[in-house]
Amino acid sequence: MTKYITLALAVAVAGAAQATILTFGDLHEVTGAPLGNYGVIDHAYGDNVTQTNDGVGSYLMGSGWTPNVTTSYATHDGAHNHFSNNLLHWDSSYGDLEHIAFSEVSNGYARLILSADAGWSVRLESFDLAGWPQTDQAIEYLRVLDGANNILWDANTTVAHGAGPTHDHYAPNLVGQTLIIEWGPNWNTGLDNVSFSQTDVVPEPATMAVLGLGALALKRRRR
């Protein structure tokens, strides 16, 4: 019976892990026209993703989707004061990346915020960063914060690589209720291919029932 309990737990854990990759591709204006350079990224892009294209933009699927995670965007100015709730789109020449997100002002600190619903957590798996126009760009920092702005991860970098052309790939692999990617200040540094997943914090009632029945059967067998 122990084998069945282990199997039930494994299935529950496997079913909880899902992943979405933000590519910032196929974005559109409110009018329906393709989003051009300097276009404001739709605030709904990345919210509760369940398919490759939700009419807002395109995504890549890792091991599944993220229906219990939402995204938001922000730019802080050079003094690190809040500037706007937006990031902008650019189509190419940030290293070898295409369709990226960057800060709304030239000396801005950009933020991409991932927030999980109650009872869920979000895992930030990886993301790419590069400089425009296919050159290395200096930045003060690249880090991941929690919802209280505590630093969870610091890349300790002062350059966003783009020469070659190429890009830098980072894999923080952090878990939390809210995770914030923050980089800058320099709008010539762009973000792409943000991979994140979701996990339920507490097993679903049906899963708990299966585990409970398994434990009870094991107890009776021992008697």
For the chain, first and last CA: distance in Å?
14
Residue 222 predicted with pLDDT over 70: no
What mean pLDDT is predicted for residues 47-51? 97
pLDDT, tens digit, 9 for 90 and up, residues 84-97: 999 999 999 999 99
What mean pLDDT is predicted for residues 188-214? 73
pLDDT, tens digit, 9 for 90 and up, residues 138-147: 999 999 999 9
Q: What percent of the chain has pLDDT over 90?
A: 74
Radius of gyration of the chain (CA): 20
Confidence of residue 187 (pLDDT cuts 50, 70, 90): very high
Q: What DSSP line would sit under 134-169, residue for residue?
A: SS-EE-SEEEEEETT--EEEE---SEE--TTT--EE
At 165, the amino acid letter reads P
Q: What local confidence, expressed as pLDDT, does residue 11 receive? A: 34
18-201 CATH fold: Jelly Rolls (2.60.120)
pLDDT, tens digit, 9 for 90 and up, residues 107-147: 999 999 999 999 999 999 999 999 999 999 999 999 999 99
